[in-house]
């Protein structure tokens, strides 16, 4: 009798174990991961233009997916290269090393571009535009880990107008990354990925699509008086495109093209996003992404024209609103292609942004809101004058980049000066200057002594081999930028708060409860969803809401 009881109990334990094990199984991997980044898209643009969007673009993603509404960057500077790297590595610049679009290289005494690589060759375009690779990024990406998990039997490909926005998301082991060469109007790549362009890319380039986009003027989708979310068409806060007399509709693209002399001008029109969407669909078609039964492919798509238009016209211009209304239609076409050829149930898609933007400071000033402009050259010159007076050595500041001040280490060493004292005195001096909220020394940043929010944000964006000796935090509403149009790069919510929308077969229909989410949680969420390792620089936790079954 006792043995029978033991046998029954053992069977119950085994049965329960099997049941628990069955419940613990990961979700079946989708056939395709789609990572979309909208450059310079503030969180509020989702709702600001909501009533003008159609039902099958942004609205479809929100209504059918999960919208994490309180998603932020956890570092500064909030710029394109750092943002794209952070989204796809799940790490901040302090780990992945992409501290800006550019940084000062002490060894060469020159500014270094984030993806420049003299050891590769251009494929399909002008030589300088193609000498690019992800080698400066120090950690793996979602795509790298997806390749490692599947023994490189799958494909990972990136596309964007901007090289950095294609290269960094796709990762080190990508099968391809393609970006736009404005001089030729072609999508190009480099020998980091392949020996020559695939024939289908040459066929796509031979369609000469950029020529067709400049045949008609850029007019608004709606009558001008319907753009009630924006300012009037002509304001003093907008930059005028080369070849135009004023920044108003309609924009004569043929005239602008003639004045610029290349297809670079397409970047600052919504048609830059059109060509990226067409190229993305060609990638899906010709590389057959998402069509194999046992592998998960990935495509990263970055829409950059929103950033160029935002820089040119600001956050409140009709041009900006029209660009988003047109992007909504591009998203609709992309989702329609996925429906028809891959199927929503076979896809995991997320859409986010690499940073936001501040309203044009001059407009804020006119509205009696505190704001202003800081001049990097003036900061460097005044700092050098102060240090010369204090330490009797000229030009102790070697360079300024992204509010980072780089000291002349050789001059400091040859004059037996105390670098900590120089940093401290310089920070104290600069902190008294107009528009500068804080100035932190490298010691303060790396030791996090008396850390506040601004210092923590800067520390997360600081990599000592590429960042400066003193880092500045500007006041809210302030920019180091020209006085028309706008920019970004700070630790304030207008730069850090971005949309994050998830969509696909197993993504729940939900809105987040406004729990604070960081951009570095995207990559571990995707990899946990796929049942693979996180990128090797990521320490963030996945977003639980997306993983609920």
Write out the DSSP string of 377-435.
Answer: HHHHHHHHHHHHHHHS-S--EEEEETTEEEE-HHHHHHTT--HHHHHHHHHHHHTTSTT
CB 241 within 8 A of CB 251: yes
**What integer pLDDT is reported at residue 549 of this predicted model?**
60
Domains and CATH numbers, the chain: 32-364+492-547 (3.40.720.10), 372-475 (3.30.1360.150)
pLDDT in tens, 293-328: 889 999 999 999 999 999 999 999 999 999 999 999
pLDDT in tens, 395-437: 999 999 999 999 999 999 999 999 999 999 999 999 999 999 9
Question: Rounded to an integer, what distance in angstroms lies between the CA atom of residue 466 and that of residue 96?
Answer: 11
Question: Rounded to an integer, what distance in angstroms lies between the CA atom of residue 363 and that of residue 381?
Answer: 28
Q: Long-range CB contacts (< 8 A, 24+ apart) of 407-414?
A: 407/468, 407/469, 407/470, 409/106
Model confidence at 1, in pLDDT bands (50, 70, 90)?
very low
Pairing of β 372-373 and β 478-479: parallel
Nearest CA to 449 out of 412, 415, 420 is that of 420
pLDDT in tens, 378-399: 999 999 999 999 999 999 999 9
**What integer pLDDT is reported at residue 512 of this predicted model?**
79
Give me the sign of the Cα torsion angle 321, 325, 326, 328: positive
Model confidence at 449, in pLDDT bands (50, 70, 90)?
low
pLDDT in tens, 53-69: 999 999 999 999 999 99
- E strand or H helix at 126: none
425 backbone dihedrals φ, ψ, rounded to 5°: -65, -40
Question: What is the average per-residue pLDDT within 183-196?
Answer: 97
Question: Rounded to an integer, what distance in angstroms lies between the CA atom of residue 296 and that of residue 146?
Answer: 8
Q: Starting from the edge strand earliest in sequence, which strands make up the sheet with 297-303, in order?
A: 122-123, 186-190, 176-181, 156-160, 297-303, 32-38, 347-352, 500-504, 66-67, 510-511
Looking at 65-138, list the stretches that DSSP marks H as alpha helix, in order from N- to C-terminal side. 80-89, 93-96, 127-130
Model confidence at 275, in pLDDT bands (50, 70, 90)?
very high
Question: Rounded to an integer, what distance in angstroms lies between the CA atom of residue 226 and that of residue 244?
Answer: 24
The pTM (predicted TM-score) of the whole model is 0.94
Question: Rounded to an integer, what distance in angstroms lies between the CA atom of residue 47 and that of residue 62?
Answer: 11
* Residue 424 falls in the annotated catalytic set: no
Percent of the chain with pLDDT over 70: 95
Pairing of β 470-474 and β 497-498: unpaired
**What integer pLDDT is reported at residue 3 of this predicted model?**
47
Question: Rounded to an integer, what distance in angstroms lies between the CA atom of residue 322 and that of residue 216?
Answer: 16
**What integer pLDDT is reported at residue 231 of this predicted model?**
97
- Say yes or no to pLDDT of 340 above 70: yes
Nearest CA to 24 out of 538, 531, 378, 532 is that of 531
pLDDT in tens, 75-91: 999 999 999 999 999 99
Nearest CA to 519 out of 169, 221, 105, 91 is that of 91
Q: Starting from the edge strand earliest in sequence, which strands make up the sheet with 517-518, in order?
A: 497-498, 71-72, 517-518
- Catalytic-role residue among 66, 71, 78, 80: 80
Q: How far is CA 145 from the centre of its chain?
A: 20
CB 180 within 8 A of CB 277: no
């Amino acid at each position: 009798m006792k043995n029978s009881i033991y046998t029954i109990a053992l069977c119950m334990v085994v049965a329960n174990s099997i049941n628990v094990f069955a419940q613990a199984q990961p979700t079946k991997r989708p056939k395709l991961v789609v990572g979309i980044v909208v450059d310079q898209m503030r969180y509020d643009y989702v709702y600001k233009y909501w009533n003008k969007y159609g039902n099958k673009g942004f609205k479809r993603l929100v209504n059918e997916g999960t919208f994490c509404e309180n998603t932020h960057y956890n570092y500064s500077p909030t710029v394109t290269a750092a943002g794209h790297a952070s989204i796809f590595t799940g790490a901040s610049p302090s780990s992945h090393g992409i501290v800006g679009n550019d940084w000062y290289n002490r060894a060469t005494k020159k500014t270094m571009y984030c993806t420049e690589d003299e050891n590769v060759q251009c494929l399909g375009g002008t030589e300088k535009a193609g000498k690019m690779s992800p080698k400066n990024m120090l950690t793996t990406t979602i795509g790298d880990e997806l390749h490692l998990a599947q023994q490189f039997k799958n494909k990972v490909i990136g596309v964007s107008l901007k090289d950095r926005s294609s290269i960094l998301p796709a990762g080190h082991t990508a099968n391809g990354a393609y970006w736009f060469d404005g001089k030729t109007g072609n999508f190009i790549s480099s020998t980091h990925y392949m020996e020559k362009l695939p024939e289908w890319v040459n066929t796509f380039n031979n369609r000469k699509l950029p020529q067709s986009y400049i045949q008609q003027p850029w007019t608004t989708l709606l009558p001008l008086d319907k753009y009630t979310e924006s300012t009037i068409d002509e304001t003093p806060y907008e930059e005028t495109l080369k070849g135009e007399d004023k920044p108003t509709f309609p924009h004569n693209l043929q005239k602008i093209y003639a004045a610029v002399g290349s297809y670079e001008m397409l970047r600052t029109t919504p048609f830059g996003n059109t060509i990226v969407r067409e190229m993305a669909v060609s990638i899906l078609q010709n590389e057959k992404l998402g069509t194999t039964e046992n592998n998960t492919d990935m495509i990263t798509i970055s829409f950059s024209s929103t950033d160029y238009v935002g820089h040119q016209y600001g956050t409140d211009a009709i041009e900006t609103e029209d660009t988003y209304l047109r992007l909504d239609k591009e998203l609709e076409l992309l989702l329609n292609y996925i429906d028809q050829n891959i199927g929503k149930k076979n896809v995991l898609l997320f859409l986010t942004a690499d940073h936001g933007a501040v309203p044009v400071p001059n407009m804020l000033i006119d509205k009696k809101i505190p704001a202003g402009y800081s001049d990097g050259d003036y900061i460097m010159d005044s700092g050098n004058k102060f240090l010369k007076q204090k330490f009797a050595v000229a030009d102790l500041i070697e360079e300024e980049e992204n509010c980072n001040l780089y000291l002349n280490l050789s001059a400091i060493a040859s004059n037996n000066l105390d670098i900590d004292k120089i940093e401290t005195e310089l920070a104290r001096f600069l902190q008294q200057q107009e528009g500068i909220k804080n100035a932190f020394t490298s010691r303060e940043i790396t030791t996090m002594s008396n850390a506040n929010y601004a210092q923590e944000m800067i520390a997360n964006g600081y990599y000592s081999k590429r960042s400066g000796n003193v880092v500045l935090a500007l006041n809210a509403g302030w920019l180091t930028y020209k006085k028309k149009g706008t920019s970004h790069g700070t630790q304030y919510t207008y730069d850090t708060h971005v949309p994050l929308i998830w969509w696909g077969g197993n993504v729940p229909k939900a809105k987040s409860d406004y729990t604070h989410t960081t951009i570095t949680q995207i990559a571990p969420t995707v990899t946990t969803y796929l049942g693979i390792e996180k990128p090797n620089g990521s320490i963030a936790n996945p977003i639980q809401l997306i993983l609920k079954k």
